[in-house]
Amino acid sequence: MSFICADATSKKIIDILPDKRLHKLVSYFMKYSRKSRLKVRFLVMDMNAIYGQLLKTVFPNAEIVTDRFHIIQHINRSFNTLRIKEMNQLKRHNQEEGKQYRRLKRYWKFLLKGLYNFYCW
């Protein structure tokens, strides 16, 4: 997997690195002067813990901002895990539990639609 370095303000890609292992990223960003690295205010990233370590080492004044796509993806996966767990608990021995099971199985996309409308700014 690669690492895409972009300017969040101008939305221009600065560089695409072929490797996103911590030591490779630290080595790459240490090529910039300390003064330049201290000016970085935000690091927009996915939820990879390595980037937190990169932030402390290379950009001590920056704050982590998790990108929207990965937040929505995490919510979606958590919701589906909970939905499936609930479906597995429904025994479907009686008619009402069977209805609840079928509703969760059939209409899960409609339940998520409300989340997307809420979280997609």
Task: Write down which residue in 22, 51, 66 finishes a domain.
Answer: 66
pLDDT for 34? 95
pLDDT for 69? 83
- Same domain for 109 and 85: yes
CA distances from 6 to 17, 43, 77, 103 (A): 11, 10, 27, 43
- Same domain for 46 and 26: yes
Which of the residues in the chain have pLDDT under 50? 121
CB 114 within 8 A of CB 75: no
Q: What is the pTM of this model?
A: 0.63
- Same domain for 74 and 34: no
Residue 89 is part of which domain span?
69-119
How many structural domains are present in the chain?
2
- Same domain for 53 and 12: yes
**39-55: pLDDT as tens digits:** 999 888 887 878 888 88
pLDDT for 60? 92
Q: Which residues touch 21 (CB under 8 Å, ≥6 apart)? A: 50
Give the chain's mean pLDDT.
Answer: 84
